[in-house]
A = this chain, B = another copy of it.
């Protein structure tokens, strides 16, 4: 059976500073321009965080999110995948308020949002000092919170994307499909974590990815995309081989081994890798159809 086309998602900024790579976009104009460049190189999904234009500080400003999406839509048909808001104030309302507001206007309506399917410690280990930083840090997503997020965004036609950090996330996703909160085709991401952030999930290796895929239901139509928070090309090659998809971007890692690359260059490399392995790269319209976002 011919493999489906390969969907490239670009993760342009997250909370990354410009210390290690100055190509991290902050302002709506920068994010939209970088996104356009990535789309031209083969990206069909863009994940982004709103940032203050000058300082790069994280922003929860709905107007900024709106401006980003408006400027992206003026340039191309890429799938828009903004983050949820207010990580520090975990009420469901705070987390989806900007998404619900943006969905009211076709010019700013996002296509999909991430739903992190777990509660987990978030401490970071420093092996040189043999200490954890942020020892009390917990990322709380109760099942009730996750259900409310899915219900709220489904109602306004924004697709919830299952973020699968561990095996329990796979099993929860199955339950959420059973409850109708995720609809087929399910779109899910497999974020993998380097050694420092070992409290979060699986390591950023092919084995780390495979140990999630091993628990996927056999017959279901789950479109999955993997990415590491370090160099993601090995994982991407395994995903290309296995019929999955992959994400890449300066939001996850600054790629010093490639000099000081741009997001667009990373997408270019990933698209080349897919073609070398015999998989065609999906355009945004094709990706939309594969992922059930019309």
Contacts and interface: CB of A to CB of B under 8 A. Distances in A.
Interface stretch (A122-130, A224-232, A268-276): A122-130
Interface stretch (A7-15, A99-107, A173-181): A173-181
Given A168-B198, A178-B130, A199-B171, A123 B143 contact: yes
* Copies held by the complex: 2
A52 to B, nearest CB: 30
Question: Most B CB atoms within 10 A — which of A118, A131, A171, A195?
Answer: A171
A25 to B, nearest CB: 31
Interface stretch (A42-50, A203-211, A246-254): A203-211
B138 A200 contact: no
Contacts of A135: 142-144, 147
A178 B29 CA distance: 46
A130 B198 contact: no
A229 to B, nearest CB: 14
Nearest to A126: B175
Interface residues of A, number: 42
A21 interface: no
A200 B168 contact: yes
Interface of A: 118-121, 123, 125, 127, 130-132, 135-138, 140-144, 147, 166-168, 171-172, 174-175, 178-180, 195, 198-203, 207-208, 211, 214-215
Q: Which 5 A-B pairs have the closest CB atoms?
A: A171-B198, A135-B144, A123-B143, A211-B211, A135-B143
25 contacts: A119-B121, A119-B138, A120-B120, A121-B168, A121-B172, A123-B144, A127-B175, A132-B175, A135-B143, A135-B144, A135-B147, A136-B142, A136-B143, A138-B140, A167-B201, A167-B211, A168-B202, A171-B195, A175-B198, A203-B215, A207-B215, A208-B215, A211-B211, A211-B214, A211-B215
